[in-house]
Amino acid sequence: MAPSRPDKARVAAAAWRSIFDFILATAGERNRAIGELGLTPNDARALSSLGVKT
């Protein structure tokens, strides 16, 4: 039997909360690495939004 909708929503919310917590916890390290490359966080966001052509 498939999980009910409330169960799926609860699991999804917990997963997204964990992802968000990870992003916050690693922000300092990520920003240091970006800075070592001579970039700002906004530079990195702009670069990550560009698609890679194959």
Residue 2 lies in a domain: no
Residue 46 falls within a domain, yes or no?
yes
pTM comes to 0.64
Q: 6 falls in which pLDDT band (50, 70, 90)?
A: confident
Is residue 29 a part of any domain in this protein? Answer: yes
Higher-confidence residue: 4 or 41? 41
Number of domains forming the structure of the chain = 1
Write out pLDDT tens, residues 17-54: 999 999 999 999 999 999 999 999 999 999 999 977 76
CA separation, residue 7 to residues 17, 26, 32, 45 (Å): 15, 29, 38, 34
Residue 4 CA to residue 53 CA, distance in Å, equals: 40
Whole-number Å distance between alpha carbons of 37 and 42: 13
Q: Which domain holds residue 28?
A: 8-51
Task: Kindly calculate the radius of gyration of the chain based on its CA atoms and give it in whole angstroms.
Answer: 17
1 within domain boundaries: no
Contacts with 49 (C-beta within 8 Å, 6 or more apart), sequence order = none
